[in-house]
A and B are shown apart, each in its own frame.
Chain A
C-alpha cells in the first residue's frame, strides 16, 4: 500500500532552525554584525550563515523530507538518512559559525565538510524519492532544480572555506578570483536557486491546497518555473565561466539569464495572484494571509534588485537586497507556513488513530490565530523598516527593526511550542494532553 509516513525528524530541523534565526537576530540587535560592523566582519559572516544555513537551509531540508514524499506520493527513501543529515548539517554549521568568529580557523573547512556531507546525503535521499515519483509535477520540478543549486552552493561555499584557511590548496590568483567573483554565484545559487526555487515550489502547492485554489492555473505557472530556473542556471553558469576567462559573450549570456530570472519571478507573482483570485475558500487562514504578504515582499525585493542592477548599484545595495529577500520574503514565508505545517503534522500525529472513533479537535483548534495575527504584522513591519534602514545605511534603524522581527519570531516560536506542548486548560473539549 502506498501513502507516506510522518517524518520523525522534521520538527527537530524546525527547532534548530528557529533557534538559529533567533540567535542571528540577537547578534544584530546587540550591534555585533552588519550594518554596525563591515559586511566581511567575522561576526557578520557568522550571522549571515546562522540565517542561511542554521535557519533557512536546516528548515527547508527538514520540510522537504516531509514535503517531497507527500507531493510525489512515494515514501521517503530513508528516514534514518534524514537523521544523519540533520546531525551532520547541525554540527557542521555550528563549527562553521564558530570558525567564522575565529578566522582563519580549521573549523571552517571541517564544519563546511560536515555540512556538505549532510547535504549530499539529503540530495541523494530526496533525489531518489523524487525520481521514483516521475513524471514530476510542477512543485516537484521546482524542488528538483533547487536541490541542484543547493549542491552547487555548498560546494562553492566549501571551496571558499578551504581558500580562506588552507593556503596552498588553490593557487593565490585562483583563490582571489574564487573569493571575489565566486561570492556573487554563492549568493545567486543560494538565495535564488536553493531558497528561492524551494520557496516558490512549496508555496505553489501549500497555498493552493489551503486556499482551495485550482492547481492547474494555465501556462503562466509553467513559464514562471522554466524562466526562473533556467534564468538562474544561465546566469550562474556564465558567471562561473567568467571566473576563468573574461568574455563579452559570456557577460551577454549572463544578462539574458538575469532578464529571464526577473521575467520568471514576475510571472510567478502574477500566477500567485491568480491563485488567490480563483480560490474557493473566501476566509483565509493566517498562513495564506501572511504567505501573501511574503509574496509582496518578494515582489518588492525583486523590483529593488532589478532597479539596482539597471542603475549599476548592485554591489553597493547587495546587503540591503539580501536582507529584503532573506528576512522579508523567505523568513516571512517560512514563519507563516510553519504556523500551518506544525499544527497539521502535530494533529495527524496526535489524533490520526482516533479519527472516526472519537471526537477530535480540529487542526485550527490547536492554534489561536487571533493572538498570532498581530504578531505576524509586527514581523513584516519590522522587515519593511529593516529594509529601509539597510537601503539608507541607518544602523540604528536596522537594529530597532531587527528587535521587532526578533520579538515576533520569538512569539511565533512560542505559539508553535504551545501546539506541541498543550497546557490542559487551553485544550478544547478536554482532550488528553500529549
Chain B
C-alpha cells in the first residue's frame, strides 16, 4: 500500500491504513510506503500484534513491512494476531520462479549461509533463489532482513526449502 500521494496532497493517511489493516486476513501482512518513518503507527499496529521492519528507499521514502507476530498489547495481554502461519509478506504474484537453486544439504554450518549470501550478491532485484538446507538457518534470517531480502521457509522431512526474493 502506497500512501505517499496522500501525504504529498496533504491528506491524512491513517484512516486508509487502518481500513487496509482491518481488511487483512489472519496471518496476512502489509507493506506500506510513506514519505517519512511513521513511528506513531508502529505503536498502533504493535498493539494489534504486528511487528515491523522499516527500511529507507533510495528515493528517501520509507518502506515498512508489517507482519503479524507475537507482540504484546498495551496492557501486556497477548495480542490477537495468530503467528502460526507466517505469511509471505508480499503477494504470491510478486514471487517469480527461482532463477538459481542451491543444495546446501550436508554442508557444515555456516557454509550454507555463506553460499546463500554469496549467490544473492550475484542476483538482481526481484529474482528468487531456491535453497535446500538441513535445517532452518536461524542466523541467516537477520542477515537477509538487514539486506532487505525476503524469505519464505517451507519445512520438509529432510530439512527446509528456502525461497529468497532479492530486494
Does A344 make an interface contact (CB < 8 A)? yes
Query: Could you say which residues of chain A place their CB within 8 Å of the CB of B135?
Result: 209, 215
Does B139 make an interface contact (CB < 8 A)? yes
Does A306 make an interface contact (CB < 8 A)? no
Q: Is the CB of B121 within 8 A of A356?
A: yes
Q: Is the CB of A1 within 8 A of B67?
A: yes
Q: Which of A4, A212, A352 contacts B106 (CB 8 A)?
A: A212
Q: Mark B55-98, 1 if CB is under 8 A from A, else 0.
A: 00000000001010010000000000000001001000000000
Q: Is the CB of A3 within 8 A of B146?
A: no
Q: Is the CB of A132 within 8 A of B113?
A: no
* Given known A-B contacts A5-B142, A69-B138, A348-B139, A355 and B108 have beta carbons under 8 A apart: no
Q: Mark A336-376, 1 if CB is under 8 A from B, else 0.
A: 00000000100110001101110010010000000000000
Q: Which of B120, B134, B139 contacts A3 (CB 8 A)?
A: B139
Interface members, chain B 121-135 (any A CB < 8 Å): 121, 134-135
Does B41 make an interface contact (CB < 8 A)? no
Q: What interface size band does chain B fall in? A: 20 to 34
**Nearest chain B residue, comparing its CB with the CB of A285:** B108
Q: Is the CB of B70 within 8 A of A4?
A: no
**Nearest chain B residue, comparing its CB with the CB of A77:** B70
**Nearest chain B residue, comparing its CB with the CB of A205:** B135
Smallest beta-carbon distance A71→chain B, Å: 9
In the docked arrangement, what's the CA distance between A210 and B135, Å?
12
Q: Is the CB of B109 within 8 A of A209?
A: yes
In the docked arrangement, what's the CA distance between A3 and B135, Å?
13
Does B140 make an interface contact (CB < 8 A)? yes
Smallest beta-carbon distance A286→chain B, Å: 14
Q: Which of A70, A212, A281, A353 contacts B138 (CB 8 A)?
A: A70
Does B37 make an interface contact (CB < 8 A)? no
Q: Which of A3, A4, A281, A363 contacts B110 (CB 8 A)?
A: A363
Q: Is the CB of A355 within 8 A of B142?
A: no
In the docked arrangement, what's the CA distance between A2 and B143, Å?
11
Does B103 make an interface contact (CB < 8 A)? no
In the docked arrangement, what's the CA distance between A212 and B108, Å?
7
Q: Is the CB of B139 within 8 A of A281?
A: no
Does B99 make an interface contact (CB < 8 A)? no
In the docked arrangement, what's the CA distance between A280 and B136, Å?
19
Q: Which of A3, A73, A132 contacts B145 (CB 8 A)?
A: A3
In the docked arrangement, what's the CA distance between A360 and B115, Å?
12
In the docked arrangement, what's the CA distance between A69 and B141, Å?
13
In the docked arrangement, what's the CA distance between A348 and B140, Å?
10
Query: Could you say which residues of chain A place their CB within 8 Å of the CB of B145?
Result: 1, 3
In the docked arrangement, what's the CA distance between A209 and B140, Å?
16
Q: Is the CB of B109 within 8 A of A353?
A: no
In the docked arrangement, what's the CA distance between A353 and B110, Å?
14
In the docked arrangement, what's the CA distance between A411 and B80, Å?
52
In the docked arrangement, what's the CA distance between A357 and B118, Å?
7
Q: Which of A70, A210, A356 contacts B114 (CB 8 A)?
A: A356
Residue among B119, B121, B136, B138 with the highest chain A CB neighbour number at 10 A: B138
Does B54 make an interface contact (CB < 8 A)? no
Q: Is the CB of B110 within 8 A of A347?
A: yes
Q: Is the CB of B136 within 8 A of A73?
A: yes
Q: Mark A207-220, 1 if CB is under 8 A from B, else 0.
A: 00110100100000
* Given known A-B contacts A355-B143, A357-B121, A4 and B138 have beta carbons under 8 A apart: yes
Query: Could you say which residues of chain A place their CB within 8 Å of the CB of B154?
Result: none
In the docked arrangement, what's the CA distance between A356 and B120, Å?
8
Query: Could you say which residues of chain A place their CB within 8 Å of the CB of B139?
Result: 3-4, 70, 348, 352
Q: Is the CB of A355 within 8 A of B114?
A: yes
Does B6 make an interface contact (CB < 8 A)? no
**Nearest chain B residue, comparing its CB with the CB of A69:** B138
Q: Mark A53-92, 1 if CB is under 8 A from B, else 0.
A: 0000000000000000110010000000000000000000
Q: Is the CB of B113 within 8 A of A3?
A: no
Smallest beta-carbon distance A369→chain B, Å: 14
Smallest beta-carbon distance A280→chain B, Å: 6
Smallest beta-carbon distance B81→chain A, Å: 14
Smallest beta-carbon distance B133→chain A, Å: 12
In the docked arrangement, what's the CA distance between A356 and B135, Å?
20
Q: Which of A3, A69, A132, A363 contacts B140 (CB 8 A)?
A: A3
Q: Is the CB of B138 within 8 A of A344?
A: no
Does B151 make an interface contact (CB < 8 A)? yes
Chain B positions near chain A (C-beta within 8 angstroms): 53, 65, 67, 70, 86, 89, 106, 108-110, 113-114, 116-121, 134-136, 138-146, 151, 153
Report 17 cross-chain contacts, Cβ distance below 8 Å, ordered by A residue: A1-B67, A1-B151, A2-B141, A3-B145, A4-B141, A5-B142, A73-B136, A132-B70, A209-B135, A344-B110, A348-B110, A348-B139, A355-B117, A356-B117, A356-B118, A356-B119, A356-B120
